[in-house]
A and B are shown apart, each in its own frame.
Chain A
Amino acid sequence: QKEVEQDPGPLSVPEGAIVSLNCTYSNSAFQYFMWYRQYSRKGPELLMYTYSSGNKEDGRFTAQVDKSSKYISLFIRDSQPSDSATYLCAIPQGGLTFGKGTHLIIQP
């Protein structure tokens, strides 16, 4: 069973829309959950991380964890063309275990 799963997309939305990106995970023992952003031909960069359940907000980004359903989400408000990238969820296991990433396209 895969540790972390993501829909690879692509997900295309108009500028200004609210974006919802999602992952599921397999092991209920996981406590920390991370979101990385990867631009084309670049390394992943950490956007934010959350601990256990609940929400965490950072500017236009909100990370949410639902441990009962093993579901993690990243919401982007007022999406911009510069948000176009691949978004990776990750858990700190074996270094980091990444999902496959969702390719997001924000249309101007």
Chain B
Amino acid sequence: EPEVTQTPSHQVTQMGQEVILRCVPISNHLYFYWYRQILGQKVEFLVSFYNNEISEKSEIFDDQFSVERPDGSNFTLKIRSTKLEDSAMYFCASSDPLSGPVAPQHFGDGTRLSIL
């Protein structure tokens, strides 16, 4: 069964550094998402992306965040100047809008981001 893959599984970065998290969505999916989960808290929506532009974003997704689909297979989340509070698990997801009234979002297994 096709799956969403994320790399790396664990990223350790110094505070203030830029970090790029990478995702390969399921190949025929058209919507892409990033979520984060701070330890012990709920999974929170960050951003959705469709047709090469952001379709929706949350209050969390401020100017330090950006997303990009640099080629036909990858989807990235960049955090420009990391803060300690950015430490979390980041999940990528994708969906096929043609799969029904509620297109199931398929999640990767996440990248654990640790800011030192």
Report whether A92 and B102 are in contact in the complex, using a CB–CB cutoff of 8 Å.
Answer: yes
Closest B residue to A33 by beta carbon equals B102
Chain A, 20-59, CB within 8 A of any chain B CB: 32, 34, 41-46, 49, 51
List the one stretch of B64-72, B79-87, B104-112 in contact with chain A.
B104-112
Q: How large is the interface on B (under 10, 10 to 19, 20 to 34, 35 or more residues)?
A: 20 to 34
Given A88-B43, A95-B35, A44–B107 Cβ distance below 8 Å? Answer: yes
Interface check A98, CB cutoff 8 A: yes
Describe B's contact surface by its main secondary structure. strand
Report whether A101 and B42 are in contact in the complex, using a CB–CB cutoff of 8 Å.
Answer: yes
How far does the Cβ of A6 sit from chain B's closest Cβ, in whole Å?
Answer: 9
Report whether A94 and B109 are in contact in the complex, using a CB–CB cutoff of 8 Å.
Answer: no
Report whether B102 and A43 are in contact in the complex, using a CB–CB cutoff of 8 Å.
Answer: no
Report whether A46 and B104 are in contact in the complex, using a CB–CB cutoff of 8 Å.
Answer: yes
1/0 per position for B90-107, CB-CB distance to A under 8 A? 010100000001101111
Report whether A43 and B91 are in contact in the complex, using a CB–CB cutoff of 8 Å.
Answer: yes
Instruction: Determine the chain B residues whose CB is within 8 A of the CB of A88 once the complex forms.
Output: 42-43
Inter-chain CA distance A41–B101, complex, in Å, is 29
Closest B residue to A48 by beta carbon equals B104
Closest A residue to B35 by beta carbon equals A95
How far does the Cβ of B98 sit from chain A's closest Cβ, in whole Å?
Answer: 16
Of the residues B45, B93, B101, contact of A94 by C-beta under 8 Å = B45
Best-buried of B47, B56, B105, B108 by chain A (most CB within 10 Å) = B105
Inter-chain CA distance A92–B107, complex, in Å, is 15
Given A43-B107, A43-B108, A88-B43, A95–B48 Cβ distance below 8 Å? Answer: yes
- Interface residues of chain B, those whose CB is within 8 Å of chain A, are 4, 33, 35, 41-48, 56, 58, 91, 93, 101-102, 104-110
Interface CB pairs A-B, < 8 A, 19 = A32-B102, A41-B109, A43-B4, A43-B91, A43-B107, A43-B108, A43-B109, A44-B43, A45-B107, A46-B106, A49-B104, A88-B43, A94-B58, A95-B33, A95-B46, A95-B48, A95-B58, A96-B105, A101-B43
New A-B pairs, 8, CB < 8 Å, besides A45-B107, A92-B102 = A32-B102, A43-B91, A49-B104, A88-B43, A95-B46, A95-B56, A95-B58, A101-B43
